[in-house]
């Protein structure tokens, strides 16, 4: 049976009585179960005549293609305990049955799609491993047309539905400090990344200590272990003493080099004195004057050598790969007048810093950091959860995404510098800049965002069921409206079509592009439209041509969208920037 599923619903940081930071994590535990049912079934069947060369003109191969199940009471359902028939339905005989009196069990599909009526409610389910008995056809509706047969039937049915029992628990975790931000202030902490015990192969060494990189238990990221002393390694103090000794030796050599011109003058002065003593009687006054000049030159050289520090003062150069200098500065909370000190680990707010590496359509590599404030993440999620929707309003979805965009648009101040620095360093024009930003989003792995649970058996549409049933499926459940806001997406990297399109719409609106958020209720899909001179499939609105751009596929170029969603009559504009 499928293993238990554990999902994180929410995380709430708080300060404990000991003054330290903690995180309250609310989790849901989904325990798989089989819910067996019994009831009556009425439906339609069709069959093809069996042809094997013999005279079996009355034999047909049957198939059920439409059915409705009725359960009358709570006793018609059983948890993890199957119902059994009084007799095996293959052995039941009845004058009203088809010739042979049996609906073969092997002819039933492993999963039978039915409409079920129970507790005054009607809904569609999949009955797994169905079994029928007392299978009776309605003779008045039995019809043979050539080699095909049609009709309706009644029977008793049993089988099971696979679902989950849900349990909600809370855990308290102490927040661990991972690193101190050195490029604009703030504490970078990771309260939810937990090692799964598997090393990535990377390690770092420093001052006789070592630490290792591990894969995270709940996320596709990595986390570093605490520093450990290397067995037999050099003591940090010993390394420091050796470093001081090397620096002292270098300074002594530099001093000798610096004062060497003075020693040359001393040697010259001694030579002059020797010559004066030897030739003094002949050039007495001349050598005395030269000696005085050389003496003053020596002292002048010595003073100049000692006072000249030879410092080099470089002109500061803007670092195009970083948003600010390495000076740690306080973080100002946008929602209050409080100043968050990055050196105080007891503050509730902090920056979440992510490092992204991706390539554009020409294979050009880009990389850099961006930051999202934890309080902005919480506030953005809270705003989304506070929104209400009128299901009878055709434009209700448009109003939701507009409200989310307006709330989040001023909370990306530490995201835009990443794109600005890349554009400046690579001298990107407007088209290449747009390709760089879209490829940034396309490179993020696809995660299906759902308003309910991630159990594939709960969904009837083929895409959701097929995707959730795949072994590599990633799902972010219990997100209101089935969407993550731009701030949520950049913080947790969980996004499907409308989550990605809304983020790109917000970014391009900031850079004054003529952009549209395209929606299709028919396809259940969202896509980006942008007014740029690309070739390909485009949506025309008031004589403006919006090229369609798929955001969920890596390296999907503008104008190239899948054929199954290419009918422009099924698309409309939900948001438009100009």
So where are the chain's domains?
30-167, 350-576
Per-residue model confidence (pLDDT) at position 350:
85
Q: What are phi and psi of 98, to 5 degrees?
A: -65, 155
Per-residue model confidence (pLDDT) at position 161:
87
What is the CATH code of the structural domain delimited by 350-576? 3.10.620
Q: What digits encode the pLDDT tens for the residues 23-48?
A: 788 888 888 888 888 888 898 888 77
What is the Cα–Cα distance from 197 to 199, expressed in whole angstroms?
Answer: 6
Per-residue model confidence (pLDDT) at position 304:
54
Average pLDDT of each block of 10 consecutive residues along the chain (578 residues)?
73 74 82 86 80 52 81 82 62 38 63 82 84 79 78 87 84 61 41 66 81 71 75 52 58 59 59 62 60 65 50 30 30 35 53 92 93 93 89 78 95 95 94 96 95 88 87 92 96 95 97 96 93 94 93 93 90 93
Handedness of CA 292, 295, 299, 305 (dihedral sign): positive
Tokens 């709430």 correspond to 12
Per-residue model confidence (pLDDT) at position 377:
94
| CA nearest to 96, candidates 137, 40, 127 | 137
Query: Count of CB atoms within 10 A of residue 496's CB?
Result: 25
Interacting residues of 371 by C-beta distance below 8 A, sequence separation 6+: 181, 184, 186, 323, 351, 352, 353, 354, 414, 415
């Amino acid at each position: 049976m499928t293993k238990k599923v554990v999902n994180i619903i929410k995380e709430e940081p708080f300060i404990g009585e000991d003054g330290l930071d903690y995180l309250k994590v609310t989790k849901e535990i989904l325990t798989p179960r089989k819910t067996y049912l019994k009831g009556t079934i009425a439906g339609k069947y069709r069959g093809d005549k069996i042809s094997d060369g013999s005279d079996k003109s009355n034999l047909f191969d049957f198939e059920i293609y439409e059915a409705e199940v009725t359960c009358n009471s709570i006793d018609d359902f059983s948890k993890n305990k199957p119902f059994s028939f009084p007799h095996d339905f293959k052995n039941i005989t009845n004058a009203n049955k088809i010739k042979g009196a049996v609906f073969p069990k092997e002819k039933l599909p492993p999963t039978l799609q039915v409409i079920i009526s129970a507790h005054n409610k009607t809904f569609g389910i999949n009955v797994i491993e169905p079994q029928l008995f007392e299978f009776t056809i309605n003779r008045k509706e039995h019809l043979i047309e050539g080699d095909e047969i049609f009709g309706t039937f009644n029977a008793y049915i049993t089988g099971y539905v696979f679902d989950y029992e849900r349990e909600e628990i809370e855990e308290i975790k102490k927040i661990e400090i991972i690193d101190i931000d050195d490029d604009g202030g703030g504490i970078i902490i990771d309260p939810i990344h937990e090692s799964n015990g598997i090393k990535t192969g990377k390690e770092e060494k420093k001052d006789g200590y070592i630490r290792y990189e591990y894969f995270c238990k709940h996320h596709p990221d990595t986390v570093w272990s605490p520093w450990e002393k290397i067995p037999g390694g050099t003591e940090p103090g010993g390394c420091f003493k050796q470093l001081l000794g090397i620096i002292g030796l270098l300074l002594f050599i530099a001093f000798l080099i610096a004062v060497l011109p003075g020693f040359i003058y001393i040697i010259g002065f001694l030579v002059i004195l020797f010559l004066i003593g030897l030739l003094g009687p002949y050039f007495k006054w001349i050598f005395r004057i030269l000696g005085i000049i050389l003496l003053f030159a020596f002292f002048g050289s010595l003073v100049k050598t000692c006072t000249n520090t030879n410092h080099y003062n470089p002109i500061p150069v803007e670092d195009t790969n970083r948003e600010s200098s390495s000076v740690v500065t306080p973080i100002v909370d946008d929602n209050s007048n409080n100043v968050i000190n990055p050196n105080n680990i007891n503050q509730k707010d902090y920056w979440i810093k992510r490092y992204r590496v991706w390539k554009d359509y020409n294979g050009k590599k880009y990389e850099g950091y961006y930051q999202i404030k934890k309080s902005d993440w919480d506030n953005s999620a809270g705003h989304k959860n506070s929104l209400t929707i009128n299901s009878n309003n055709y434009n209700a979805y448009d109003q939701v995404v507009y409200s989310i965009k307006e709330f989040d648009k001023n909370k990306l101040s530490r995201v835009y510098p990443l794109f600005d620095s890349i554009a400046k360093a690579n001298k990107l024009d407007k088209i290449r800049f747009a390709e760089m930003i879209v490829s940034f989003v396309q490179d993020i792995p696809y995660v299906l965002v759902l308003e309910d649970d991630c159990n594939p058996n709960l969904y009837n549409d083929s895409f959701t069921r097929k995707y959730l049933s795949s072994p590599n499926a990633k799902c972010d459940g219990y997100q209101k409206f089935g969407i993550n806001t731009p701030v949520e997406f950049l913080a947790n990297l969980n996004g499907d079509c409308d989550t990605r399109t809304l983020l790109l719409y917000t970014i391009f609106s900031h850079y004054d592009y003529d952009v549209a958020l395209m929606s299709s209720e028919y396809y259940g899909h969202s896509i980006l439209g942008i007014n740029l001179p690309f070739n390909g499939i485009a949506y025309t609105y008031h004589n403006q041509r919006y090229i369609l751009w798929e955001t969920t596929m890596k390296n999907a170029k503008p104008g190239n969208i899948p054929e199954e969603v290419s009918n422009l009559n099924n698309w409309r504009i939900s948001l438009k920037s100009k």
